[in-house]
Chain A
Amino acid sequence: MEGYDVVVIGAGNGGITASAAMAQKGLNILLLERHNIPGGCATSFCRGRFEFEVALHQLSGMGTVKKPGPLRMMLGSLGVLDDLEFVEMSELYSVMMPDGFKLSLKPDKEKVIKELQDRFPHEKKAIEKFFDLSYKYANDMLAAFIFKDPSPSREKYPTMYEYAFKPASEVLDSLISDPLLKAVLSVYWGYVGLPPNRLAFPYLAMIFFTYIEFKPFHIKGGSQALSNVIVNKFISQGGSVRFNCGAKEIKVENGKVTGVVTDDEEFIPARFVVSNASQVSTYVQLIDPQHVPNQVNREMRGRSLSPSAFSMFVGFDCEPDELGITEATTFLLDNIDFSDRVINQMKKLDIDDQLLVLSCYDVSDPEFSPPGTSQANIVTLKYGEPWLSIPPTQYHKTKFRCAEEMLRRVEAIYPAVRGHIEEIDVATPLTHMRYLGHPNGAIYGFEQYTKDSMFFQPGRYSPIEGLYFASGWTGDCGFHPTLQAGLSAAKSIVRKLETE
């Protein structure tokens, strides 16, 4: 076999779309994956009768066939839409509190506003203003960056110029006085990993905008189906994939990539490498330090690791409504203080009144679990660090203790759950570390402060020639952004080859 044009390290979202897009352009690609399945986060695992979804909560950017969103168009360009079936979720999200508070929002701007105004009549105006502002921001962003206005200005896009770097809490505080409403409006911070006082307002605005305009979706067969379909497309276009084979070293000479050494010591020459591994392990573990420019370490030095997660995968021997679960996505809220207190909680092992999200895919797709059963994926964010210092002998005990705390929180809202558990598996930050290879099990890569956004960071580019990144480490996290990251890396390489 003649050599490869590109070696892609890691079959996560970014790795597989990069591979598939380059194979589509006729390049000879080798995709390496340490594990026996593709997907990275976008995977599933089987326990008993259940196949548990690992990571996908609500797919953003899909849109409908009539009004396609950016993700649908992107998957269409990869030629994989026909092999996938998407399920539209009928709720944006719901919020439940142990005191009986319950609120459920539909993915429709007017309905969201009306529902919130009915519940918070004293904040009628503020609610309208918040959504108006979010939409104005999103529209400015789209016009300036997605549709690439050649001469943008403050006059044309006043909201963007004013709000792009503002914390979400500052915007919420300026409009709203009811702390419960503020909490209800900012639960999506959990999808980014920073509480509203640290999260930039644009994240919140864009999340609302995209989920409302393009609707939240799930996939038949879960995110593993997406990963398998993309890899299958890649293979059918002549791509090579090696499972159970990680990369050991990226060889660099004179500032240029020369190839990759695999775990079984095989050297594979290539001019281009796309790393879907974490930026930290790519530069620290995979490349000989003498070839890593100082600039890289300096840039990374300014960035901190995002939280990891503590997750529970539960299979029930009954339908969701028997448990009182009537929405696909529910945030379990026990405390409406979303200040730095949240960060402190995420730094502790134990789960007390932290925000939890419970996803029950069976609500929107009754075929998701076997007939007469259902499953829930319950997640809370936790930094990995405290887990690193637990003696191995105490690991299982600690894991069960924290899971018990989490289960109690869930029982406080849905008292019937424990009596219906048929399977349960628990993932700690160490589990995420094991399967993703990310330092501290950070599920969102580097923390997504404004200073770490693509405006300020090198993104997919590296000062090492031929090296590109495609992952949540170099831009936004979540399915749509990471899938897009792969396409962007592919585009850079294809363009580079075309100009030669």
Chain B
Amino acid sequence: MKKNIFEDFDGYNDIVEEIEHSRKYGINYSAERHSPAQFINRLHPPILNLRVSDIIEETYSTKTLRLIPDDGYLPPFLAGQYVALFLDMGGIRTSRPYSISSPPNQTGFYDITVRRVDGGLVSNYLLDEVSKGDRLQGSGPAGNFYYNPLFHDKNMVCLAGGSGITPFMSIVHEIADCGIDRTVFLLHGNKNLDDVIFHEKFKAISDRFENIRYIPVIEEPPNDYDGSRGLITGDLIKEKIGNLEDKTFYLCGPQGMYDFCIPELVRLGIPHKKIRKEIYGAPVNICDDPGWPENIKAETVFKVSINGGGTLDARAGEPLIMALEKRGVTVPSLCRSGECSMCRIRIISGKVFQPKGVPVRKSDRQFGYVHSCVSYPLDDLEIAL
């Protein structure tokens, strides 16, 4: 056999010797089966097998499901993060994200707090069909809505709308339980006083802890109500928190609340980077979006063909992912709000509506990839999963 030229390079023999030594004393990789997954799953398990250990009635519309692990281990999370629940409901496999409302220092269970939504497929299922002892599947904790010590202020101003209060329960509880050096101003907006989630619990915590201020804001309170009324306006925020400097603002609630509160904060001169907004699911009524084409009604039905194979019907007003799930086509999903990109699919032909500001990668846009949880058919579509 012809000699390789590098065998004549200076130092060749030394390297050959080096290789022999290293092969004698090196690492036996074949003895380390499954190692990457084993470490990663402690932090980011693809699936968590959970059991409902308790159901706690919070208000007439809301319950907390206490979830314990079936195998005794729950991964850690940052207060404010969510888990997705994967559910099989009458043949439809779907998922929904829920903020963990229990604090991270409570390592034995995750609480999720669910409010009834009119026509809410999943919330009603969780409230009416699930009982103590039932098994549920969840994702590992995820999400980017948490206190980041690298650049957030130690003074947190938390603005919650209705059931958007749930991540703040985790945040406030952790601060109180662990004696964390942070101050929270929690403004919780609700329509009625009788359906304020965690009202008594927050009152009790703020009574005991000087660094926790709880300010419920009721839109339509009883006449004799002596707390804050109306909406969470800039003026109210300023009145309640005083100095606006050195504070980071955290918002969690429905789109309508963001549309109202963010301009209020901007009017107060709060810089963009100090306003942190949690994702909150797909818009309830996409046809109200300012960019929605007038000529298309929510009920309009389009044909969607998948991978050049089967065809299904999809309503314009319903996220594409739901139409797929209802016909038994499962697309992986996590945040269901357009952020995590798990449900990325490709539109080969036809048009979809995507609300403004959905974070889709530039080159994904170029090649027709969309996040199917916030994409609505405006045309007959051909898609690839």
Q: Which of B28-36, B126-134, B182-190, B211-219 contacts A (4 or more CB under 8 A)?
A: B28-36
A166 to B36, CA, bound (A): 34
Q: Which chain A residues border B151 with CB–CB below 8 Å?
A: 418, 421, 424
Q: Report whether A51 and B271 are in contact in the complex, using a CB–CB cutoff of 8 Å.
A: no
Q: Report whether A285 and B76 are in contact in the complex, using a CB–CB cutoff of 8 Å.
A: no
Looking at A292, A423, A451, which has the most chain B CB atoms within 10 Å of its CB?
A451
- The contact string, 1 if C-beta is below 8 Å from chain A, for chain B 4-23, is 11101111101110110011
Tell which of A46, A280, A395 touches B29, judged by Cβ atoms closer than 8 Å: A280
Let me know if B56 is at the binding interface, CB within 8 A. Answer: no
Let me know if B144 is at the binding interface, CB within 8 A. Answer: yes
Let me know if A154 is at the binding interface, CB within 8 A. Answer: yes
Tell which of B10, B27, B28, B33 touches A285, judged by Cβ atoms closer than 8 Å: B33
Q: Which chain A residues border B29 with CB–CB below 8 Å?
A: 280, 283-284, 297, 300-301, 439
With contacts A302-B26, A317-B271, A422-B272 taken as known, whether A37 is within 8 angstroms of B40 at the C-beta atoms is: no
Q: Report whether A434 and B78 are in contact in the complex, using a CB–CB cutoff of 8 Å.
A: no
Let me know if A349 is at the binding interface, CB within 8 A. Answer: no
Q: Report whether A165 and B144 are in contact in the complex, using a CB–CB cutoff of 8 Å.
A: no
Let me know if B349 is at the binding interface, CB within 8 A. Answer: no
A15 to B229, CA, bound (A): 60
A51 to B366, CA, bound (A): 14
Interface range, A side = 35 or more
- The contact string, 1 if C-beta is below 8 Å from chain B, for chain A 382-396, is 000000100011011
A434 to B41, CA, bound (A): 9
Q: Which of B82-90, B192-200, B261-269, B357-365 contacts A (4 or more CB under 8 A)?
A: B357-365
Name A318's closest neighbour in chain B (CB-CB): B273
A388 to B18, CA, bound (A): 29
Let me know if A430 is at the binding interface, CB within 8 A. Answer: yes
Q: Which chain A residues border B19 with CB–CB below 8 Å?
A: 302, 451, 456
Name B73's closest neighbour in chain A (CB-CB): A392
With contacts A299-B23, A304-B27, A400-B150 taken as known, whether A433 is within 8 angstroms of B39 at the C-beta atoms is: yes
Q: Which chain A residues border B35 with CB–CB below 8 Å?
A: 439
Q: Number of B residues contacting the other chain (C-beta, 8 Å)?
A: 59
| B 307-348 contacts with A by CB, 8 A | 332, 339, 341-344
Q: Report whether A154 and B361 are in contact in the complex, using a CB–CB cutoff of 8 Å.
A: no
Tell which of B6, B18, B342 touches A455, judged by Cβ atoms closer than 8 Å: B6
Let me know if A404 is at the binding interface, CB within 8 A. Answer: yes
Let me know if B108 is at the binding interface, CB within 8 A. Answer: no
Let me know if B367 is at the binding interface, CB within 8 A. Answer: yes
Q: Which chain B residues border A396 with CB–CB below 8 Å?
A: 76, 78
Q: Report whether B15 and A456 are in contact in the complex, using a CB–CB cutoff of 8 Å.
A: yes
Tell which of A45, A165, A302, A434 touches B23, judged by Cβ atoms closer than 8 Å: A302
A218 to B274, CA, bound (A): 31
**Min distance, Cβ B76 to any Cβ of chain A, angstroms:** 5
Q: Report whether B341 and A36 are in contact in the complex, using a CB–CB cutoff of 8 Å.
A: yes
> Interface residues of B: mostly helix, strand, loop or mixed?
loop
Name A154's closest neighbour in chain B (CB-CB): B8
Q: Report whether B76 and A392 are in contact in the complex, using a CB–CB cutoff of 8 Å.
A: yes
Let me know if A275 is at the binding interface, CB within 8 A. Answer: no
Let me know if A134 is at the binding interface, CB within 8 A. Answer: no
Q: Report whether B9 and A422 are in contact in the complex, using a CB–CB cutoff of 8 Å.
A: no
Let me know if A98 is at the binding interface, CB within 8 A. Answer: no
Q: Which of A176-184, A225-233, A254-262 contacts B (4 or more CB under 8 A)?
A: A225-233
Q: Which chain A residues border B360 with CB–CB below 8 Å?
A: 46
**Min distance, Cβ B353 to any Cβ of chain A, angstroms:** 19
Q: Which chain A residues border B93 with CB–CB below 8 Å?
A: none
Q: Which chain A residues border B385 with CB–CB below 8 Å?
A: 243
A301 to B294, CA, bound (A): 66
A118 to B104, CA, bound (A): 57
Q: Which of A67-75, A156-164, A189-197, A463-471 contacts B (4 or more CB under 8 A)?
A: A156-164
**Min distance, Cβ A181 to any Cβ of chain B, angstroms:** 25
With contacts A224-B363, A456-B15 taken as known, whether A424 is within 8 angstroms of B32 at the C-beta atoms is: no
Let me know if A438 is at the binding interface, CB within 8 A. Answer: yes
Q: Report whether B344 and A243 are in contact in the complex, using a CB–CB cutoff of 8 Å.
A: yes
Task: Other than A228-B367, A455-B6, A456-B19, give 17 A-B pairs with Cβ distance below 8 A.
Answer: A37-B361, A228-B369, A243-B344, A283-B30, A302-B19, A302-B22, A302-B23, A303-B22, A304-B26, A304-B27, A305-B27, A418-B151, A422-B273, A430-B40, A438-B36, A439-B35, A451-B18
| 18 A/B residue pairs, CB under 8 Å, sorted by A | A36-B343, A47-B359, A163-B10, A164-B6, A164-B10, A165-B10, A165-B11, A165-B14, A224-B363, A225-B362, A228-B366, A235-B384, A298-B23, A301-B27, A301-B29, A407-B150, A430-B39, A456-B19
Q: Which A residues have a C-beta under 8 Å from some C-beta of B?
A: 36-37, 44-48, 51, 144, 152, 154, 160-166, 221-222, 224-225, 227-229, 232, 235, 243-244, 280-281, 283-285, 289, 292, 297-305, 317, 388, 392-393, 395-396, 400, 403-404, 407, 418, 420-426, 430, 433-434, 437-439, 450-451, 455-456
Q: Which B residues have a C-beta under 8 Å from some C-beta of A?
A: 4-6, 8-12, 14-16, 18-19, 22-23, 26-30, 32-36, 39-40, 42-44, 75-76, 78, 107, 144, 148-151, 271-273, 332, 339, 341-344, 359-364, 366-367, 369, 384-385
